[in-house]
Structure 1
């Protein structure tokens, strides 16, 4: 994990790749719980037998499940000290270039694109890429925005 003492240190790292998380398995239980939480029970996610005959050869995770893991991935990658709070501010762009099969292992890497001061605090923009172990095409590429408040 990379630790920044303050937002000034974070800003100095603009343009740098912040590293990768550990690999983690995506389970059918996670997919089912996400389906329950979002009321998205499409068969390609939750019907194991039917999904085996489908276009992906088995069940796949929801794209938004991958996206929902970003906060967890970010806490594994880096921390900014000296903050009153950090807030998910939004997303500029999200793409799901390839599926995440249930049982696959995924990890995230992040590149710090921009850090700038605003009247509300410090905004950062990161390009986060979620990879599937053993494949070359990413599962998710997202530009995530955060707001850091120091006082």
Structure 2
């Protein structure tokens, strides 16, 4: 798997309308779910109580928090594209996010991303991406949506 390297706003703009790529698979572990529960104070049993989830959940296992899977977006995106020559990158917006399928513990997920548009806001690139979080061996993705990053490129002389 190769990572696409982008060094400038014009280079980013040249990829509009194209699939940028697919990340490697990442396994969602119970430890990761528990740490996210601790960080967000969301200890609902469906996430952290394996015995109860096995007995009472329709998934028969614990599931990752939906927002945990969303929080993986920057990590997985960086496996697809390396944006260089930046002053700063900012998470700006999430649109049309739809959770389609629960991610059970030990599932493997990966990100597929397509660059929908790039707007030049006085030198800041507003990049909108269509994203799908795929689950290995599942026909339905964990989620689909549109995310926006702001890229503040270094001045190019």
For residues 114 and 105 of structure 2, the distance between their equivalents in structure 1, rounded to whole angstroms, comes to 27
Q: 1:98 aligns with which of 89, 97, 101?
A: 101
For residues 80 and 64 of structure 1, the distance between their equivalents in structure 2, rounded to whole angstroms, comes to 24
User: How many angstroms does 1:120 deviate by?
Assistant: 6.3
Moved beyond 3 Å, runs of 4+:
none
For residues 85 and 9 of structure 2, the distance between their equivalents in structure 1, rounded to whole angstroms, comes to 8
Corresponding residue for residue 137 of structure 1: 140
For residues 80 and 24 of structure 1, the distance between their equivalents in structure 2, rounded to whole angstroms, comes to 21
Q: 2:27 aligns with which of 25, 28, 33?
A: 25
Q: Can you give the 5+ residue segments of structure 2 that lack an aligned partner in the other structure? A: none
Secondary structure in structure 1 of the residue aligned to 2:90:
strand
Q: Can you give the 5+ residue segments of structure 1 that lack an aligned partner in the other structure? A: none
Q: 1:15 aligns with which of 6, 14, 17?
A: 17
For residues 92 and 103 of structure 1, the distance between their equivalents in structure 2, rounded to whole angstroms, comes to 27
User: How many angstroms does 1:45 deviate by?
Assistant: 0.5
What is the alpha-carbon root mean square deviation over aligned residues? 1.1
Q: TM-score, normalised by structure 2?
A: 0.92
Q: How many residues in Structure 1 have an aligned counterpart in Structure 2?
A: 151
For residues 147 and 22 of structure 1, the distance between their equivalents in structure 2, rounded to whole angstroms, comes to 24
